[in-house]
């Protein structure tokens, strides 16, 4: 696919310090980042103060400030973007929680996001705490959740980033979802 090849070329050039490639990167990835952010924000409560455009801009600024990343391609870029969007949302939720002393936690529907059978909304901070716990047990599994939930990457894209066969990742994803379901029901 030509667009994917062009993006991989831009990422490679940008990571090598090519300023023109870096300048061309935002227009090349903006639409997809915006779409992923909008999808993520649809899971949030209606009165959320962070808009998808602001989330994309904040994430992109942090991406380009990252010291020379050896981008492995499009999927790797969006995987890193997903981790940064997670960090932005968690920081935003913590700030709101501190401002409102408990009343401003950012709500997301874990059921729709991860296809879990959780009967209540879970906030970003609960998900972040669960991911921190999961990272202590298995950092790879926490990374998979971040890429799927916060980055909106497909199973195929995550498998490509991790260099794992799709079937293996599908099996891991089933185990991860079961662990998350149990963990989030307890919290």
Q: How far is CA 17 from the centre of its chain?
A: 25
Q: DSSP secondary structure string, 113-126?
A: HHT---SS-EEHHH
Q: How many CB atoms lie within 10 A of CB 125?
A: 17
For the chain, give every domain's residue range: 2-186
Assign 131 to helix, strand or coil.
helix
**What is the average pLDDT across 2-13?**
75
pLDDT tens-digit readout, 119-134: 444 577 788 888 899 9
pLDDT tens-digit readout, 93-149: 777 776 665 455 555 555 555 555 444 445 777 888 888 999 999 999 998 988 888
pTM to 2 decimal places: 0.61
| Measured distance CA(94)–CA(98) in Å, rounded | 6
């Amino acid at each position: 696919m030509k667009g994917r090849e062009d993006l991989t070329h831009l990422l490679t050039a940008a990571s090598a310090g090519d300023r023109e490639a870096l300048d061309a990167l935002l227009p090349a990835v903006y639409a997809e980042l915006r779409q992923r952010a909008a999808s993520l924000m649809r899971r949030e409560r209606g009165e959320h103060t962070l808009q998808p455009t602001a989330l994309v801009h904040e994430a992109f600024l942090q991406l380009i400030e990252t010291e020379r990343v050896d981008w492995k391609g499009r999927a790797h870029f969006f995987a890193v973007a997903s981790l940064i969007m997670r960090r932005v949302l968690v920081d935003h939720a913590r700030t709101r929680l501190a401002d409102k002393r408990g009343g401003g936690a950012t709500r997301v529907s874990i059921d729709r996001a991860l296809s879990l059978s959780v009967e209540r909304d879970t906030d970003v901070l609960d998900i972040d705490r669960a991911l921190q716990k999961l990272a202590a047990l298995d950092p790879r599994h926490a990374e998979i959740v971040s890429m799927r939930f916060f980055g909106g990457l497909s199973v195929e894209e995550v498998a490509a980033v991790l260099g794992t066969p799709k079937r293996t990742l599908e099996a891991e994803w089933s185990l991860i979802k079961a662990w998350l379901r149990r963990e989030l029901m307890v919290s």
